[in-house]
Every structure is written in C-alpha cells, then in structure tokens.
Amino acid sequence: MKGSLPLLILFTLSQGGKHGYAIAKVIREQSEGVLAFTEGTLYPTLHDLEKRGFIESYKDKVSGRTRRCYQLTEAGLRELDVQRQEWNQYSSAVSSILGGAV
C-alpha cells in the first residue's frame, strides 16, 4: 500500500487542522487499528506535503503546550480530489476483478 499515507493525511486534514500525533491517532482509530504505519515517518511526509504547498503549518496551543499544527491549502484540497479519484479507480478495478471471480 505504498504512497497511501499522503492521501490519508490530506483527508484527515480536510476535517480540520491537527498536529502530528492527532493525525496518527485519527488514522489509527478510524481504520479501527487495521491501518498502521511507522509513526516516525509521519513528519517527513507532512514536511514534504508542506514543501509541495498542499498543507501549511501554524503554531497552536494544545493542552497548554505549543504545538505545530497543519491545515489543508487550496492546492491540497485539489490534490485530495485527484488522489481520491485515483484511489477509487484503483479500488473499484480490484473489486470488480474479485467480484467477478466469486
């Protein structure tokens, strides 16, 4: 499932700005623990998305601590649509093959 983390991050951030740990927690909880990733690689992925202009960071106070949070940009919203479409095409193609085999 290479390359799916950026899509999940973009989707998570489309629901509102979050810091890194909150993003990891949402992915873990919403997939009911099925999807996991090396959490240390979350930050390079976030920094990469920021360099590409898909997200932007800002400082926010969370539980009394200053945290670096991330939010989606307009370009990120468009990228989310593109990646979601690609994912839907891919998954429906696999589903139709598996469905046909049953």
Three-class DSSP category at 34: coil
Q: How many residues lie near another protein (CB under 8 A)?
A: 34
CB atoms within 10 A of CB 28: 15
Q: Does 68 bind another protein (CB under 8 A)?
A: yes
Burial (CB count <10 Å: 0-12, 13-18, 19+), residue 37: middle
Residue 72 corresponds to which tokens in the numbers above?
């989606």
Please identify, using beta-carbon distances, which residue of 32 and 100 lies nearer to another protein: 32
| Mask for 22-61, x = binds another protein (CB under 8 A) | --xx-------xxxxxxxxxxxxx-xxx-xx-x-------
Q: Could you give the count of Cα atoms lying within 13 Å of 9 in the half-sphere of its Cβ?
A: 30
Please identify, using beta-carbon distances, which residue of 21 and 90 lies nearer to another protein: 21
Q: What residues make contact with another protein under the rule CB under 8 A? A: 1-6, 8, 19-21, 24-25, 33-45, 47-49, 51-52, 54, 65, 67-68
